[in-house]
Amino acid sequence: MSLHVAVSPLPAAVPAALLPSEPPSASFVSIRGRRLAFSELINPRVFETDYQLQLTQQTRDAKPFPHFVVDGMFNPDLLRLVAEEFGGAGEGGWRVVQTKHELTHRSTPGARLGPASKLYFSLVNSPAFLELLSAVTGVEELITDPKLYGGGLHETRNGGRFGIHRDFNRHPCTGLDNEMVLITYLNEDWDRAWGGALELWDGEAKNCVREVWPDFGRTILMRHCDVSYHGHPHPLQAPEGRTRRSVACYYYSYSNARRERERRNTSLFLYSDPMERVKSAAKLATPPIIWNALKRLAGS
């Protein structure tokens, strides 16, 4: 079993691109009387090159599919404020998913979230955070979903479960390709006797390869692929008043983006030579690696 990456305490500054839109003089935000410094919302170490290389290695080597697990990525005070907002969502803000494989509660897409939850999602959907995820996973030009389809606030109540499954391939409205999901757990003093561990399974061998306990402040990123089976399949056995809580966010890509970018970036002049038109069409239809090889041969 691979080890969790323990992130050091939150000292220095967060890159400015991560911060929500605030007046230049603002250095903190106050939520329900608690003051949070912008410089301490995300652990700055995760933006250091050497640490990103560690995460990249962990993701690549992880079994049974690419993922990483990190403790302490986000300010614990922010996460406590997010956890408080589960109770304020009200029953109308929840979608109960109940099938023979699943009994969970999730916030509805586009739900009106509390201020701390909005702040968390603004951070994980910020340009700098997307660059971090791209650097670690190798997936470029990640796209976010403002309505948090499939994501948002997740809660499993007593007796609830989520069978071993693989996530959806495409966003149902935009058709974008699902690339990965980021989950942060909000459960302080979680007792393992209650169950609730996220199990990562080998789909072929049909066995659990790794358990990730939903401890407070733990974050897992899972790449979506044909073998990314996971879930917490055993009914939760928590005491009265305790639930398994997390926040989740999906990230997407557009598989035809490269060809679309080339199409937009290649000017086609009205009075161009017919051979230039043929060449432009051929470039669009040819994978870059083959096109570059042909250019090298033509120049030799």
224 and 291 housed in the same domain = no
The verdict on residue 203 lying in a domain is: yes
Indicate the SS3 state at residue 225: coil
Q: Which domain, by its residues, includes 138?
A: 5-9+42-253
- Number of domains the chain is built from: 2
Question: From CA 300, how far away is CA 288, in angstroms rounded?
Answer: 18
Question: From CA 137, how far away is CA 133, in angstroms rounded?
Answer: 6
The verdict on residue 86 lying in a domain is: yes
Cβ atoms < 10 Å from Cβ of 206: 9
Q: Could you read off the pLDDT of 194-234 as tens digits, one per residue? A: 999 999 999 888 999 999 999 999 999 999 999 999 999 99
Q: Where are the alpha helices (DSSP H) in the chain?
A: 49-61, 76-88, 115-124, 127-137, 257-265, 274-285, 288-299
Rounded average pLDDT per 10-residue block, the chain, 300 residues: 43 45 68 93 93 96 97 97 84 84 92 94 96 95 94 96 95 93 98 97 92 98 96 96 97 79 60 66 64 65
Rg (CA), the chain: 22
The verdict on residue 187 lying in a domain is: yes
122 and 244 housed in the same domain = yes
- Residue 112 has, within 13 A of its CA and on its CB side, a CA count of 4
Is the distance from CB of 291 to CB of 283 less than 8 angstroms? yes
The verdict on residue 36 lying in a domain is: no
Task: Spell out the residues 6+ positions from residue 136 whose beta carbon is closer than 8 angstroms to its own.
Answer: 52, 55, 56, 59, 68, 221
The verdict on residue 26 lying in a domain is: no
**What does the pLDDT read at residue 7?**
46
294 and 163 housed in the same domain = no
Residue 237: name the closest of 166, 158, 300 by CA: 158
Is the distance from CB of 157 to CB of 236 less than 8 angstroms? yes
CATH number of the domain where residue 144 is located = 2.60.120.620
214 and 159 housed in the same domain = yes
Question: From CA 222, how far away is CA 226, in angstroms rounded?
Answer: 12
Residue 73: name the closest of 215, 177, 206 by CA: 215
Q: Could you read off the pLDDT of 39-75 as tens digits, one per residue? A: 899 999 999 999 999 999 999 999 999 999 999 999 9
Question: From CA 159, how far away is CA 76, in angstroms rounded?
Answer: 28
What single DSSP character describes residue 148?
Answer: -
The verdict on residue 28 lying in a domain is: no
Is the distance from CB of 231 to CB of 199 less than 8 angstroms? yes
139 and 264 housed in the same domain = no
Question: From CA 40, how far away is CA 27, in angstroms rounded?
Answer: 10
In this prediction the pTM is 0.80
222 and 102 housed in the same domain = yes
**What does the pLDDT read at residue 255?**
81
182 and 285 housed in the same domain = no
110 and 191 housed in the same domain = yes
The verdict on residue 91 lying in a domain is: yes
Phi, psi (5° rounding) for residue 152? 90, -145
